[in-house]
Structure 1
Amino acid sequence: MASSAPAPGNKEEKDHWTTEAYQNAASFVPKLATKIVQWLDPQKDDRILDIGCGDGVLDIEFAEIVSQGQGHLHGVDSSPALVQAAQKATREKGVEGKATFEVLDANELISKAGELQSQRFNKAFSNAAMHWILRPAEKREGFFRGVREALAPGAVFAFEMGGLGNVSEIRAALLMAAGRRIGLDRAQAVDPWFFPDEVWIRDIMEQQVGGWRVDRIEREWRPTTADVGGVVAWVRIMAAQFIEALPEAERESFVKEVVDVLEIVCAKPGGGFMYSYVRLRVLATRI
């Protein structure tokens, strides 16, 4: 997949994403996807569906592989800005003939499953997008059904997302600062992330939805150094839903309060800042 950009929750939401802002705040996301890409093991004849494809960084890599054979890459993301960036990136690398992109809320996959399956995907992939996609509890089963129905039997789904405990220090600072202004219930309602554990993944895929076999799963603490934009850039883009839920007059004081706390908690002794990322990786087969 590409820069695994977190997609907005539905088509009506404001598109918070630009490739410039994302690269300033979280360019490390695709760079640290080595392990899940190894689990996917892309080959030249694979037809890969990338869910939450982002701005095209990993899609270039995949398109270069499938350009050596009969494969194809199709990326979907609900951010029009990031889909345009992915199209541009693959065009500039000369692999646009092997990669197509579509603006699509991943929770709507089920409505397009038949059309997608006609492309005979044998692999699906997602990196750092599903903790946004799965936020609405009522759509979680439908998402896994949509991915399942887009794939042929025996196809694999390799994904990495935030796992239980991900960015706990950041999330606590956001909820506390927002809760003081709009109440904790409201702050929790606008929290845009869902970070599950291994037990939850196995249950929803194998039991609640069915048709999946989880072959491999792990949850790893991966301390991650802040990007060039520092803590403030991360907060402004990743926590935009918190900011926009506040009265406009309180937004900058909220950002300052959160950043001031995190620059203490996340400070590295040698300079810079560290986020406590926890990654949940899964390799599953459609049965």
Structure 2
Amino acid sequence: MTDHWNVQLYDSQHSFVSQYGTELIDLLAPQNGERILDLGCGTGDLANQLYMLGVDVIGIDSSGNMIEQARKKYPHLEFQQANALDLPFEDEFDAVFSNAVLHWIKPPEQALEGIYKALKKGGRFVAEFGGKGNVQMIVNAAIEIFRKLGIKNPDARIPWYYPSIGEYTFLMEQYGFRVAAAFHFDRPTPLLGKEGLRNWLKMFGNPMFQDLDDETKEEIILDIEALLKEKMFKNGQWMADYKRIRVVGLKE
């Protein structure tokens, strides 16, 4: 898959990703001097927050665009381009922290194996990501429009992995973690402005449109907007039906 991340759009229209991650830092409860891996660091905002708390942090992301932007914004930090399915670390971190990333990673088993391996004994894994039912209205609308246009295998175009809390914690235990905490909760999320859904689709839904020409992509986006406007557009703003999973796992 090509690097579809538009970092300018990400930072200007989707800063909520990092803003919501601040709560996850509270759950992480980083201690001064700890060595922490920010898995899927994006453009580096949360890695910098960890640094400001006295953490020795490394940020990694599979997107070269994201890493380049993170290095520009925070030249005092270490960022590496790396894939969550092939983590090059062993017994190295007090914690692995991940916000809004793991729903992109398939197969999840391979990611969990690498995360466990990267942690020191006694280390912790703290993550939040999309859970079962996340953006279900958007997913359903996209599949309906793909079918209407005669696009084959529309379900296969959905790029995300949204597990149930039972499914994911079972996998964590299979790969050695003791699950210390797990939550599955609704988090309705505002998308900025009248073009909020369009911008969201162009940023996060772009993999769905791979191999489609610009005209077809625009038609799909317009149709999705029309289909969802009554349900999702309120008081001049789009509201996305986010459902999140938050977990804490320990390597004992």
Shorter-chain TM-score range: over 0.9
User: In structure 1, what is the Cα distance between the partners aligned to 2:171 and 2:123?
Assistant: 18
Instruction: State which drifts further: 144-153 or 37-46.
Output: 37-46
Residues 84 and 273 (structure 1), Cα distance of their counterparts in 2 relative to 1, 3 Å cut: same
> 1:23 Cα shift?
2.6
**SS of equivalent residue, structure 1 residue 194:** coil
Is the 8 Å Cα contact of residues 132 and 243 (structure 2) preserved in structure 1?
Answer: yes
Distance in 2, Cα, partners of 1:21 & 1:213: 38
The Cα shift of 1:188 comes to: 1.2
Give yes or no for the alignment of 1:129 onto 2:95.
no
User: Aligned match of 1:143 in 102, 105, 111?
Assistant: 111
How far is 1:29 from its partner? Answer: 1.1
1:35 alignment counterpart:
23
Secondary structure at the aligned position of 1:106 is classed as coil
1:162 corresponds to: 130
What displacement does 1:247 show? 4.9
- Work out which of the residue numbers 238, 244, 248 in structure 2 matches 1:279: 244
TM-score under structure 2 length normalisation: 0.94
Measured in 2, the distance between the counterparts of 1:159 and 1:79 equals: 19
State the shift of 1:182 in Å. Answer: 4.5
Task: Report deviation, 1:220.
Answer: 1.0
Contact 2:125–2:248 under 8 Å retained in 1:
yes
Q: Which runs of 4+ in 1 moved over 6 A?
A: none
- Could you tell me which of 160, 184, 202 is aligned with 1:219? 184
Instruction: Find the aligned partners of 1:278 and 1:160 in 2 and give their Cα distance.
Output: 10
Given the alignment, which residue of 52, 59, 63 partners 2:47? 59
The equivalent of 2:36 in structure 1 is 48
Determine helix, strand or coil for the equivalent of 2:159. coil
Q: How many Å separate the matches in 2 of 1:273 and 1:63?
A: 33
CA 1:194–1:77: 2 relative to 1, 3 Å: same
Q: Secondary structure at the match of 1:217?
A: strand
Secondary structure, aligned partner of 1:108? coil
The answer (yes or no) to whether the contact 1:231–1:263 under 8 Å persists in 2 is: no
1:164-205 CA-to-partner distances (Å, cap 9, x unmatched) read 111111111111112333446x22112110111210112111
The alignment of Structure 1 onto Structure 2 pairs a total of residues equal to: 251
> Do the aligned partners of residues 155 and 247 (structure 1) sit closer, same or farther apart at CA in structure 2, a change above 3 Å counting?
same
In 1, Cα distance between equivalents of 2:89 and 2:49: 25
Equivalent position amino acid for 2:179 in 1: V
Runs of 5+ unmatched residues, structure 1: 1-12
Aligned CA-pair RMSD:
1.6
Q: CA deviation at 1:16?
A: 0.9
Note if contact 2:40-2:59 (Cα within 8 Å) is conserved in structure 1.
yes
2:83 to 99, 105, 108: 105
User: 2:170 aligns to what?
Assistant: 203
Percent identity of equivalent pairs:
30
CA deviations on 1:76-123 (whole Å, 9 max, x unpaired) are 1011111111112212xxxx1xx31111111112xx233xx3xx3101
Once residues 259 and 276 of structure 1 are traced to their aligned partners in structure 2, the CA distance between those partners, rounded to angstroms, is 14
Offset at 1:249? Answer: 4.4
Q: Quote how far apart the aligned CAs of 1:248 are.
A: 5.0
Once the 2 structures are TM-superposed, how far is the Cα of residue 163 of structure 1 from its aligned partner? 0.7
Give SS of 1:81's match.
Answer: helix
The equivalent position to 2:58 in structure 1, one of 41, 51, 74, is 74
Residue 178 of structure 1 contacts residue 246 of structure 1 at CA under 8 Å; is this kept in 2? Answer: no
Query: 5+ residue gaps in structure 2?
Result: none
Distance 1:65 1:151 in 2: 20
Structure 2 distance, partners of 1:227, 1:124, is 30
Q: 1:244 deviation in Å?
A: 1.8
Partner of 1:187: 154
Higher helix fraction: Structure 1 or Structure 2? 1
Cα gap change, 1:21 to 1:152, in 2 (>3 Å)? same
SS, match of residue 53 in structure 1: coil
- Secondary structure, aligned partner of 2:72: helix
Amino acid at match of 2:82: L
Tell me if structure 1 keeps the 8 A contact 2:6–2:203: no
